[in-house]
């Protein structure tokens, strides 16, 4: 499973890149606003640190606006993936952009039917929002399982990018189901290697080492 960081904070991205856990980055207008920086400058910095796909979202809602914005965004770096909403105009833009060799992340997916049409439109990535799906009484992981089955049935190349990840269990369950990618805030990625028994083991070893009076 590939790990993408869902953030626009360059310091967090550099920190994750140093661990070897960073395969890509996803951004959205809310995350860029939170960073307080210019959108294009943020993207340039992220693309330099992360060689993998960096999702940059269009804000236009009609096809012409999406294509106009995509033209600006994809000039920022070669690893930019244009993020479009799962709407008729978004799928039209997806088909045009992927046909021109640009990576496209189709976002805000909440059903297997939506994932199917996105794959038909040639999406590089489909982003089902599991946490938000759970919030309204549906099973986010069942959505991932359904999409995985459909994509495998027809050998779609579209990668399943699990989004709206709220906790490590989402990551583990998505990995068990065969999701290709997950994107999560850095704090959740860091939680993946946290365990109280690991901390207790380290504390015990250090106590015994100190009692030995030795040095390395």
User: What is the pLDDT, as a whole number, of residue 136?
Assistant: 95
Domain residue limits at 89? 2-212
pTM: 0.95
Per-residue pLDDT tens over the stretch 5-32: 999 999 999 999 999 999 999 999 889 8
Residue 83 falls in the annotated catalytic set: yes
Identified catalytic residue from 2, 34, 75, 83:
83
Q: Could you tell me the pLDDT band of residue 42, with boundaries at 50, 70 and 90?
A: very high
* Dist. CA 153–CA 160, nearest whole Å: 14
**Which CATH number do you get for residue 63?**
3.20.20.70
If one counts the domains in the chain, the total is 1
Residue 87 pLDDT greater than 90, yes or no: yes
* Dist. CA 122–CA 93, nearest whole Å: 10
């Amino acid at each position: 499973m590939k790990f993408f960081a869902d953030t626009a904070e360059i310091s967090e991205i550099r920190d994750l890149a140093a661990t070897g856990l960073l395969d890509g980055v996803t951004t959205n207008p809310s995350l860029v606003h939170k960073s307080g920086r210019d959108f294009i400058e943020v993207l340039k910095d992220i693309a330099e640190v992360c060689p993998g796909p960096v999702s940059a979202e269009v804000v236009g809602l009609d096809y012409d606006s999406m294509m106009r914005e995509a033209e600006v965004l994809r000039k920022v770096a070669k690893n930019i993936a244009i993020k479009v909403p799962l709407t008729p105009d978004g799928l039209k833009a997806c088909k045009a952009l992927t046909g021109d060799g640009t990576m496209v992340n189709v976002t805000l997916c909440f059903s297997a039917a939506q994932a199917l049409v996105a794959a038909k439109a040639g999406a590089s990535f489909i982003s089902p929002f599991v946490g938000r799906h759970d919030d309204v009484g549906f099973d986010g992981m069942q959505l991932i399982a359904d999409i995985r089955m459909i994509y495998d049935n027809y050998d779609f190349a579209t990668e399943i990018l699990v989004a709206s990840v709220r906790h490590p269990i989402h990551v583990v369950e998505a990995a068990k189901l065969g999701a290709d990618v997950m994107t999560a805030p850095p704090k959740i990625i860091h939680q993946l290697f946290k365990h109280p028994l690991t901390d207790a083991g380290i504390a015990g070893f250090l106590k015994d080492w100190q009692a030995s009076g030795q040095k390395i």
